Amino acid sequence: MDIDKHSNFSEWFSTVLKEAKLVDLRYNVKGFIVILPWAFKTMKLMYSFAEAELEKRNHAPVNFPVVIPESNLIKEEEHVKGFGGEVFWITHAGFNRLEERLALRPTSETAMYPLYALWIKGKSDLPIKMYQSGAVWRYETKATRPFIRGREFLWIETHDAFATKNEALSQVMEDIEILNVFLWDILGIPFIVLRRPQWDKFPGADDTYAADTLMPDGKVLQIATTHMLGQRFSKPFNIKFMDEDGREKFVWQTCFGIGMNRIYAALVAWHGDNKGLIYPFSLSPIQVVIVPIFKENNKEKVLNYARGVYKKLKSKGFRVLLDESEKTPGFKFNEWEFKGVPIRMEIGEKEINNEGVLIVPRDTGIRSFASLNELVDKVSKEGKEMMKRLKEKNWKEFEKSLKSASTFEELKKKLENGGIVRVPFCSLSHGIECYNKIKEELKAEVRGEKVGEGKPKGLKCVVCGKEANHFVYVARQY
């Protein structure tokens, strides 16, 4: 593939999606895509890792209907204002007009919380920590792009209820911990968690904390959010419990959204190179592809040996494929390299004579010999080492993208080459005019302040020149 990922990311991404057979865009409804097996198998693995992290922390799986009565959706005023223009409405069933419109869920607060009001009676019913995996639908009016921006997308959402505000705040911090494990430790995607400004929070939340990663074109992509809902939903939905003092109190709530489509896009973008896709070892549908190299006079000998290697790896739980197709070895090398299989094994007469195989990691392409006795350990080690290399590369690249500016002109200059720029800023609650100037003149967004970062001392807002109360991060976004 003769396309540079960093200088022409749009074309690179589109080419990888098509040629690696990740999606089919020919479904004839705008904003809806068909996710093909080579992508969806990896997404299923991603789901399994994320769900395991949630369940380790006492979240229980649940499944609610995809339709939400309009009367539910409009109960929280700020929420319906935020999502009203993005809702897909069902108005008919068969030939009959429905008495009440049904919304395809844009998110599940208003689907789940009427049931929470029935389930929660006393303090012993708390906390509730539930999650569901599935799809949501939003009528996205901006330009759509596979995985990055669409009208149907896959995700995981948690909905938690607690007796106290402190418990809810602790849950938000736990959600961020889950993101650190899932996005970085497991997937190798670098990101930053920022508390959004009040004008950019989730509709109906007290506060929103979002995970932003960076794409190769220098734009940020929001891939997950956790929200401190406070009592904004418990009051309109009447979710109360009888406390030990005999008084009824409203619960405190949080919700947490993990955007699987966008995370998959980030996985492709961060790990891939100019040769195509690179899948981390733990996430690849095929972890090892075996390519036999033979001539007509030794074909059966090589294939029988390769089949033995295949069975050995398969019996140890590896996802392995023996490519016995009629394609040439060179074609197979290029095909599986483009599709991002982490480890290629080459087996020919020489390897048979030496009772081993050649191992080629996708990221380095450096061949090394492994004997049959050490094969299983060698594959496991190579998979781990490859992930370590990918993470080191990604983190260095991410760090380079984090910049600082102290004036508006400096901010403008730093944004020209993309990345995320840290600047002193007046207010995340009342700085809307300063935000608007950045948005209008620089075509960028105030993403928020970093969780746990200190406040500026003696610095002025880069826009209005007033005292700065926050360090905020500014970037162009998808």
Which CATH number belongs to the domain containing residue 436 in this structure?
3.30.110.30
Q: Considering only 117-121, 255-259, 342-346, 450-454, which range has the smallest mean pLDDT?
A: 450-454
Same domain membership, residue 106 and residue 15: yes
CA distances from 115 to 65, 161, 312, 350, 369 (A): 12, 12, 51, 66, 60
Same domain membership, residue 146 and residue 60: yes
Each residue's pLDDT tens digit, 100-124: 999 999 999 999 999 999 999 999 9
pLDDT value at residue 1: 79
The residue from 359, 384, 409 where one domain ends is 384
CA distances from 305 to 226, 322, 331, 382 (A): 52, 11, 21, 22
Burial class (CB in 10 A: 0-12, 13-18, 19+), 325: exposed
Confidence band of 141 (pLDDT split at 50, 70, 90): confident
Residue 189 · residue 267 · CB < 8 Å: yes
Same domain membership, residue 378 and residue 425: no
Confidence band of 68 (pLDDT split at 50, 70, 90): very high
pLDDT value at residue 452: 85
DSSP output for 323-350? --SSS-HHHHHHHHHHTT-SEEEEE-HH
- pLDDT, mean of residues 190-194: 98
The residue from 206, 240, 271 where one domain ends is 271
Q: CA geometry: angle at 3 spanning 445 and 216, to 5°?
A: 25
Q: Does residue 142 belong to any structural domain of this protein?
A: yes
Same domain membership, residue 178 and residue 206: yes
The Cα 193–Cα 425 span in angstroms is 17
Each residue's pLDDT tens digit, 398-409: 999 999 999 999
For residue 262, the enclosing domain spans 9-271
Same domain membership, residue 135 and residue 198: yes
CA distances from 399 to 212, 214, 347, 393, 476 (A): 13, 11, 40, 10, 17
Question: Which residues lie below 8 Å from residue 285, measured CB to CB, with a gap of 6+?
Answer: 37, 38, 41, 42, 45, 279, 319
pLDDT value at residue 378: 97
Same domain membership, residue 297 and residue 237: no
Burial class (CB in 10 A: 0-12, 13-18, 19+), 123: middle
- pLDDT, mean of residues 376-386: 98
Same domain membership, residue 300 and residue 224: no
Cα-Cα-Cα-Cα torsion 91, 92, 98, 103, nearest 10 degrees, comes to -40
Token representation of residue 237: 């939905």
Number of domains observed in the structure of the chain? 3
Q: Does residue 319 belong to any structural domain of this protein?
A: yes
Q: Does residue 365 belong to any structural domain of this protein?
A: yes
- pLDDT, mean of residues 318-334: 97
Q: Does residue 393 belong to any structural domain of this protein?
A: no
- pLDDT reading at 80 higher than 80: no
